Amino acid sequence: MIDLIKTLTEAWGPSGYEHHIRQIIHQEVEPYADDITIDSLGNLICRVGQGGKKVMVAAHMDEIGVMATYREKKTGYMRFANIGGLMTTTLRGNRVKFEDGTVGVIGVHANGGDKLDDFYIDVDDGSGDVIVPEGSPAGFWREMQVRGKRVIGKAMDDRIGCVVAIETMKKLNKQAPNETYFVFTVQEEVGLRGARPAAQALNPDVGIALDVTRTGDEAKGAKMAVKLGGGAAIKVHDPGLVVPPQIVQWMVDRAQADGIPYQRELLTGGTTDAAAIQLAGAGVPSGCISIPCRFIHTVSETVDLDDVQACINLLTGLVSNPIEFM
């Protein structure tokens, strides 16, 4: 699993430009899916099983990034806009990688740093020949590292959710009593844009998002009843989703029956693809299995391997058993 996490987190794929990461995931899941399609927006949709309840499991492939908007003529520095939610406190000195492999370093004007206009990307190689065209997207760049049970890297949000989905598909090995659609969605970071049409097309009976969530165990951090190493986080509420009680209970019962460590997640900021899935058709009861993660939306997003495995085990238990509560 470590190799898969490394491959996915280090892959390039800002929102709207998921073609590279989609190809990697496609190759990884092909032996474990009964059917694979790519919709017109770019979502990768993998069906496992046929008959029974229709389940949509969504993990987004995209990552936050930047878009070059203007090249300063005298310096060659690039001005940029955000792709997804950037925090200015994390930008200075960070590296970004453009699709052609060009690596830039983010700088900031003296006494600046409060707003995005204070920053620029330095792509100078000393020759003056490096030209990054306006409109070029870039993702943040940093190699993944392992520290004991902790894995640190960029784009854990939400490549680690993709890992949970892929490993569950492997465990199912095409054997499932439900008709489960594993959807690797696009453009989540810019407004849940991929999950909406996918859910509308599939019209599932139940939806499950896989995504990261904050932890409440950072020094002087926000209070939250989720900690790294505490197990799978079963979402109860976030600003975009009030999880139906029967969905929460379904997940809790499964975790308890299978001896899977879990914790309840109540998130005060942010939401997931489940918020879009719930609005498909006449409405879809939807929940979320969250992977606890420190330092979200930085190049050092940190997860615990035991939590990841707990999420895999919980999702596998949910979709490998008949759904009878509906």
**Cα angle: 294, vertex 230, 147; to 5 degrees:** 50
Q: How many helices (H) and strands (E) does the chain have?
A: 7, 18
Backbone region of residue 101 per phi and psi (left: phi > 0; alpha: psi in -120 to 50; beta: other values): left
- CA dist 208 → 3, 113, 143, 211 (Å): 25, 38, 29, 10
Which residues lie below 8 Å from residue 74, measured CB to CB, with a gap of 6+? none
End-to-end CA distance of the chain: 33
Which residues lie below 8 Å from residue 191, measured CB to CB, with a gap of 6+? none
Q: Active site residue: 167, 188, 189, 301, which one?
A: 188
Phi/psi for 306 (5° steps) reads: -65, -40
Q: Can 188 be counted among the known catalytic residues? A: yes
Neighbouring C-beta atoms of residue 192, cutoff 10 Å: 23
Structure tokens at 7: 């491959």
* Cα torsion 301, 193, 244, 180: sign: negative
Alpha helices in 173-295 (DSSP H): 195-202, 245-258, 274-277
Residues marked as catalytic: 188
